[in-house]
Amino acid sequence: MPYVNVSQENSGSIDLYYEDHGSGKPVILIHGWPLSGRSWEKQVPVLLAAGYRVITYDRRGFGDSSKPTSGYDYDTLAGDLHKLITKLDLREVALVGFSMGGGEVARYLGRYGSERVKKAAFLAAIPPFLLKTPDNPSGVDGSAFDGIKAGIAADRLAFLAGFFANFYNVDVLGGKLVSEQVVQFSWNVGAGASPKGTLDCVSAWLTDFREDLARIDVPTLVVHGDADRILPIDSTGKRTQELVKGSRLVVIEGGPHGLNWTHADQVNRELLDLLSKKS
């Protein structure tokens, strides 16, 4: 199993698990909360078949990566991504971030620039800024995030069950575009994550990415479902497209948050279209 060392905690190293398959131009898929690289099951085979080198990795605290008690802020998480890119010496890479993974894409490009990056994609992603403030009136009141933290602290596993019901809009799409087994699998992956990391990431969701997005200078795709209950499109996808110069917004009709599974064919078509275009 391949790992990249990103830091140290006391006597133990902090290592990220990654998978690196195929050849051609590299594509890094960055997963959402509280999942792992395994959540890209519907995308990896398609990208490999199209001739791309596909790299997935597990964020610190999640999947098969180390589970430290610190580092769940976007500066650190983007630094982890930078260490992976540097270790593999990737050039002309496409960064694809789903949900929380969109934050790594934004912060990486805002901090490290596009020297190694050719294209970017935000899928049901968290930018630009979720928290309601005087200069961000369309954001979400901070008390909502306090409630999420309280729910995780009280019973993380029960909280995740409710979260995934809304992640896939199970009441509408269950048995049609998503099976009970897929929802259970997502819960299993989330349940195996670091409890501390799961909780601490909620604070990271309040990161302001507006300046990062304004610095993006590569072709960028934004894909979002208009039925996303976790990150509603009006507060996220539409505003991200407005802030990234020249970016393209694709709205998936009826798409829930977990659209990379429920609407995989549409998502994959848009990704391949982005990747295939010369820039």
Which string of DSSP letters, residue by residue, matches 39-86? GGTTTHHHHHHTT-EEEEEPPTTSTTS---SS--SHHHHHHHHHHHHH
At 148-169, the pLDDT tens digits run 999 999 999 999 999 999 999 9
Please say whether the beta carbons of 97 and 110 come within 8 A.
no
Write b or e for each residue in 7-31: b if 16 or more Cβ atoms lie within 10 A of its Cβ, otherwise e: beeeeeebbbbbbeebeebbbbbbb
Q: Residue 85 has which token pair? A: 């890119």
Residue 121 backbone phi and psi in degrees, to 5: -140, 140
Look at residue 274 and tell me whether its pLDDT is greater than 80: yes
Q: In CATH, what is the architecture of 3-276? A: 3-Layer(aba) Sandwich (3.40)
Whether 171 is a known active-site residue: answer: no
Whether 228 is a known active-site residue: answer: yes
Residues 6+ apart with CB under 8 A from 143: none
Per annotation, catalytic residue among 36, 64, 66, 257: 257
pLDDT at 243: 98
Look at residue 1 and tell me whether its pLDDT is greater than 80: no
The percentage of residues in the chain with a pLDDT greater than 70, rounded to a whole number, is 100
- Nearest-angstrom CA–CA distance, 115 and 111: 11
Domain edges within the chain: 3-276
Please say whether the beta carbons of 124 and 228 come within 8 A.
yes
Average pLDDT score over residue span 247-274: 98
At 29-44, the pLDDT tens digits run 999 999 999 999 999 9
At 62-111, the pLDDT tens digits run 999 999 999 999 999 999 999 999 999 999 999 999 999 999 999 999 99
Q: Nearest to residue 209, comparing CAs of 30, 73, 33, 81?
A: 73
Q: Alpha helices, DSSP H only, in 124-263?
A: 142-167, 170-173, 180-191, 195-204, 210-214, 237-243, 259-262
Per annotation, catalytic residue among 36, 65, 66, 99: 99
Q: Give the pLDDT band of residue 138 (cuts 50, 70, 90).
A: confident
Mean pLDDT of all residues belonging to the chain: 97
Q: How far apart are the first and last CA of the chain?
A: 34
Give pairs for 264-268: CB < 8 Å, separation 24+: 264/42, 264/43, 267/42, 267/43, 267/123, 267/223, 268/42, 268/43, 268/46, 268/47
Look at residue 278 and tell me whether its pLDDT is greater than 90: no
Q: Residue 135 has which token pair? A: 């200069």
Per annotation, catalytic residue among 36, 194, 228, 247: 228
Average pLDDT score over residue span 137-142: 91
pLDDT at 213: 98
pLDDT at 136: 94
Look at residue 8 and tell me whether its pLDDT is greater than 90: yes
Whether 66 is a known active-site residue: answer: no
Please say whether the beta carbons of 213 and 128 come within 8 A.
yes
Q: Which amino acid belongs to residue 1?
A: M
Look at residue 270 and tell me whether its pLDDT is greater than 90: yes
pLDDT at 126: 98
Phi-psi region of 63 (alpha: psi -120 to 50; beta: other; left: phi over 0): left
